[in-house]
Chain A
């Protein structure tokens, strides 16, 4: 059982309150919570796309596998060259093998974390197979299940995701993360799933013990999915107000703007802002790709001369 404080930190991490975690004061080094909380803090940095911040936090002189894994993930995320990235991936692969051995610096929880981080990195690298294998579809670590479920969802296999979810329901009780997993599945499958997800985020927004603009963004996105554009817009605008650099909220807001009546201008402005501020956002990349596709397909049609009198 973790301490109340650690539990709280974990909760914040799960619900995407990364900013709060980064600003968090770590307990004394002697505290047993020090390392776990440090890890969450570092992972929050990585999640906010600041891997350097995470690397600065992590001590280099620790042998603990989970610390090393977080560092490796940070390096992977930070990597600009493929070689660096590959090296980091290799490191994670080694760690994943190492934890299978006898002589490991770290307990079961550390090992589970290593798998989660390795899985995350593999999934990022598009190595779905490897990610799933590393995480193990029989795992009883809920974080791993969360990653597995998202991986399944990303490859359009909500059926398999559901299996994982059903399986974990048996042992995970009604963990917050389990609810999050359920809501992620709901977001993809839709229908009642939207209601469920919406209720989950609404509920978490009402949770007095933490504030996370991510929750607002998520609810805004679900509201988009539920075709409640007005409400979605207000959620997303508020989220963006709280956290200006939130690319997800900005991207979602762009989407809503495109759905509104007569907001062409605004949609274009938001889109421009998104492309400038977050050129790496998958929406930007995807639309860019579609742009090229359009040109390519268009070229197949021969345009006759304009009829003139």
Chain B
């Protein structure tokens, strides 16, 4: 136990009392200044303060099941508080003690409160009746503490009188006169005078003497009949109770000042104590030895509290409090495929996610400190080994093989485990582990036998190392995280980050989450892209969903995070968990006691966001259709992200729908919802929006609904809707609104109407003038008359010309048309939701199938799309390799197949798809790929066009063996005909436009064969050599090439093989001549000379030269022989051979003559015809082999090439196509 892990600290006045809330992360602290604080230690915030006591508060307790707090202070008062935030107040105060109250406590089931006081009494109060129901007297000094037994009717008290007493309170339960309730007592008036009456209900059971100073605290063991006490004699004493007696068992020595408090660890065999010597100490219960000491500089410790269920303690000191853990609870674990390897109770266990089986595999009890669990576990699936680290002993690691099967007796790691010192150790490869030594900053790479094979100096201050992908490490430094290549020993990338504590790789190894206390950095494999998430709450763990969503847990939440940094809450947690695996709707995790648990959750929200992010509308639609609950948040999210039209589909609430519809300009929906809402402001907004879009029909409706007659009329004018205008006139008449009537008359060009309005309102002058201006003389006269005037009265009016005012003519009858709107975006959702054609849409798998399938399904989805791209590809390629006839076929095949895709969605019976072999044929211009695909016909066409091959019989074994090796058969299902699967060249490729068959023969393997041919040459097995070189040339026709370099090498190989084949053939011919026509020396010499002109490698050329030297000197052609000897010398032969050569040269010099005249002019460049074996000098006519480029005399044009025996001499050929 090297570390005490502080989880929370506060600064305050001296803390004298502490109490944990049993279920929530709350801690009550009683302070010396009279305040009682309620802390949320998980969030680190002060939740509440209770300040009614006068003077220091020493006792505090929280009710085990109700929201109640009890406190006792130096004001002799005991107060009970309601701690619910909405209801917080002091419920009541218990009066009775005559001196300081030291401790208070609620009973676990009865409504009792226990208090201990300096007035030498212990009192038990009924919190319902608020009466004192028992006073326990007997102590002869201050009672420093009193505690109920966790299950039995016992109380243990500690006193300054140096004793610890155990009291039997079972009498109280049986029927105390006052226990029944408040009846008769009338308001908690329990005066100090009346306690003698119930004294008989409680008795002292044991008096424990042994301390020689005052005892500060005593408490029971949660399960065993033990008591622990802490006293001013600097000792902690352990006492045992039996049926009828209690006795001291042991003392724990170590504190060098008063011990304030001591507690049993609720789960382990440990004792925790604190004292005025400024230490908190942890003891082994049985061995009585200090395991750990935690010291503070200046603060004396006064009080300790243990959480009833969790591994949490709190200690109060002079200037505040600390909350701490005694051990890390994060279990060491590692996930491999469907199995979780983890450590619980110092056993390595395997949990199968699929079957739920959970078995122990290995004991690690002897590894490091027995009190400490291992810190990390790294699993090596290849070797089935685990690598554990532990923090004790300054950091240890141990590498152990897991047994293949769980046996009865579990193997202990100490048997064959390989150990060493190191703070961090992980597997980095199948047979390599890396161990970090923090002090000297060395990372040692070790093999499975624990031998160091490499040592790396950490490039940055490294605190922890993690697996970084193949041959890489992730180094966590205080300010950054580094991706480090072990092979090259160099830093690949570095990201600034707070210290990274955990690293989680996604299943496909493409993404990694680097987790530190408050941040998560999601990076890609090379750290070249990353995004950061910040959390205010401590981040605990994380796991990747199959679709590439990172799910992580904080102290109190499970959250998700998308690759672009969007994150949100999935669910809340009562207690932290450690996520191990996320599969579908299930989160697998380990709880604090390292037990596998699962949490079922609804991934809809993040799946939806992911789908949105990836524009996967099918998936979104599916979610919309099937998920029942979509919160308001998703709508806000959509709106905020600019997808109001999608949000629209979620909203039921008319107001929101209306707003959204307006935002995305969906007038139809807006109209519908406006009708439902039917409020003027809605109609106005709708009218505005519709006006913008030029949809006057909607505008009209909106104006009508709001009775906006003016605007309506004007709208009718604007749209040229004359009949509507006249209707408006009538309405105006009916309404008796002269202004409106006038307007409408004006708009409608109704002069009589206008005059009538003017007359009606008594504006005779205007009426008259209007009539006049429109040459309505009769009417004018009538008005004049009505106004009691005559023409004479108004003769001063200037003559008014004819009015030109009239409604504008209607150019386009807009009335019947709406303004054309840009073609509405073909909204996938509208269509699908309206048509209800969801059946056609396949939900992309279950929950996280979306992209888990992502990779796989995208290949399938891409199917259709790639088909199109494909077409182009083929077209361009065709030009290149000139396959007009086939090209047409491909095209039509493609068309047909596209039709099929459309058809087959309908029925159950499906038409066959494109077979892989067809794809191969399409994707490659190389004959060999066509052979592998079994398309022998096209393969032969290609060979014929590219290399002029005509004689295919010789290639048959090659064709068949290549075809044979490109397909395998497998029967996954019983009795069905086996599946034919096709072996691909590049297994990491699955796009239909790029798949290609496996390369049955590689250039390398053929070159190996070539070497074999060389050996035959050296070994003078010429006919075998001839066979071999020919076969090499055959094989080279059917080899896969993938780059320019390879193509060059291929060409070189072809040339070399051809030269050797030619050379060997010449030599064989020479031997034949020598045998058949021994007299034909001329021919013999000629052939020997030509042989030396084949491009052979020096050792073989030496053979040719030596053989020529021999033949020529024998024939007494000394001059030639000397020349061959000179060439031989140039090759730096063996000294012995060199000596012979020099002799030959000397002989030639002595006698520079040639006895036999041969056709051999070595001074002019020539090539040898491979049929006649005669020289073709430079510039002379010749024909060539379209494949091997060997040379022939023109008369052999059109005949079968004797070297390869495949091609037609002189045939036109396009040569090797570039397929890469």
Contacts and interface: CB of A to CB of B under 8 A. Distances in A.
Interface in A260-309: 261-262, 264, 267-268, 271, 281-283, 286-287, 290-291, 293-294, 297-298, 300-309
B1070 to A, nearest CB: 13
Contacts of B956: 291, 294, 298
Contact of B855 (A13, A154, A191, A268): A191
Interface in A216-269: 217-218, 221, 224-227, 248, 251-252, 254-259, 261-262, 264, 267-268
A183 interface: yes
Contacts of A281: 969
Contact of A282 (B916, B980, B986): B980
B612 to A, nearest CB: 21
Interface string A162-199: 11001001100010000011011111111111100001
Nearest to B984: A190
B1201 interface: yes
A302 to B, nearest CB: 7
A273 B803 CA distance: 113
B1200 A137 contact: no
A225 B998 CA distance: 9
A305 B989 contact: no
A157 B963 contact: no
A256 B1205 CA distance: 29
B968 A203 contact: no
Contacts of B940: 297-298, 300-301
Interface in B868-904: 904
Contacts of B1205: 306
Contacts of A62: none
Nearest to B951: A303
A264 B966 CA distance: 15
A307 B974 contact: no
Interface in A13-36: 13, 16, 18
B972 A150 contact: yes
B961 interface: yes
A73 interface: yes
B846 interface: yes
Interface in B982-1025: 983-990, 995, 998, 1000, 1002, 1004-1005, 1008-1009
A115 interface: no
Interface in B939-961: 940, 944, 950-953, 956, 959-961
B965 A255 contact: yes
A191 B989 contact: yes
Contact of B981 (A13, A225, A257, A258): A225
Contacts of A111: none
Interface stretch (B482-490, B744-752, B907-915, B1150-1158): B907-915
A252 B968 contact: yes
B1049 to A, nearest CB: 16
B1176 to A, nearest CB: 13
Contacts of B979: 150, 153-154, 184, 187-188
Contacts of A189: 856, 859-860, 990
Nearest to A208: B405
B989 A297 contact: no
Contacts of A297: 936-937, 940, 952
Nearest to B961: A258
B964 A255 contact: yes
Contacts of A18: 974
Contact of A307 (B857, B981, B1171): B1171
Contact of A47 (B843, B844, B853, B975): B975
Contacts of B1135: none
Nearest to B965: A258
Given A174-B354, A192-B856, A293-B936, A129 B909 contact: yes
Interface in A102-161: 120, 123-124, 128-129, 132-133, 136-137, 146-147, 150-160
Given A132-B910, A156-B916, A191 B990 contact: yes
Contacts of B853: 162, 166
Contacts of B964: 254-255, 258, 271, 283, 287
B976 A147 contact: yes
B963 A290 contact: yes
Interface string B80-118: 000000000000000000000000000000000000000
A190 B627 CA distance: 33
Contacts of A218: 970, 972
B318 to A, nearest CB: 58
B863 interface: yes
Contacts of A151: 976
B350 to A, nearest CB: 11
Contacts of B912: 155-157
A93 to B, nearest CB: 16
Nearest to A138: B908
B960 A291 contact: yes
Interface residues of B, number: 91
Of the candidates A194, A218, A224, A291, the one having the most CB atoms from chain B within 10 angstroms of its own CB is A224
A218 B962 CA distance: 21
A162 B648 CA distance: 32
B1208 interface: yes
Contacts of B337: 199, 203
Given A187-B979, A282-B978, A307-B1171, A162 B944 contact: no
Interface in B384-426: 404-405
A193 B855 CA distance: 9
B382 to A, nearest CB: 10
B938 to A, nearest CB: 9
A252 B969 contact: yes
Contact of B842 (A44, A163, A259, A307): A163
Interface string B1193-1211: 0001011111001001100
Nearest to A267: B961
A106 to B, nearest CB: 20
Nearest to B977: A124
A175 to B, nearest CB: 9
A166 B845 contact: yes
B974 A303 contact: no
Contact of B846 (A153, A169, A271): A169
A68 interface: no
B640 interface: no
Contacts of A157: 904, 910, 912-913
Contacts of A193: 856, 990
Contacts of A137: 908
A221 B965 contact: no
Contacts of A73: 975
A162 B856 contact: yes
Contact of B913 (A44, A150, A158, A258): A158
| Nearest 9 A/B pairs, CB to CB | A258-B965, A191-B990, A307-B1199, A156-B913, A129-B909, A47-B974, A155-B912, A261-B1005, A166-B845
Interface of A: 13, 16, 18, 43-44, 46-47, 73, 77, 120, 123-124, 128-129, 132-133, 136-137, 146-147, 150-160, 162-163, 166, 169-170, 174, 180-181, 183-194, 199, 203, 208, 217-218, 221, 224-227, 248, 251-252, 254-259, 261-262, 264, 267-268, 271, 281-283, 286-287, 290-291, 293-294, 297-298, 300-309
30 contacts: A47-B975, A120-B975, A124-B977, A133-B908, A155-B912, A156-B914, A157-B912, A159-B863, A166-B853, A169-B845, A169-B846, A174-B354, A183-B972, A191-B856, A203-B338, A221-B969, A248-B970, A256-B965, A258-B965, A258-B1000, A259-B983, A262-B1005, A262-B1008, A286-B934, A286-B967, A293-B936, A294-B959, A297-B937, A297-B952, A301-B951
Interface of B: 337-338, 354, 404-405, 508, 842-846, 849, 853, 855-857, 859-860, 863, 904, 908-916, 934, 936-937, 940, 944, 950-953, 956, 959-981, 983-990, 995, 998, 1000, 1002, 1004-1005, 1008-1009, 1171-1173, 1192, 1196, 1198-1202, 1205, 1208-1209
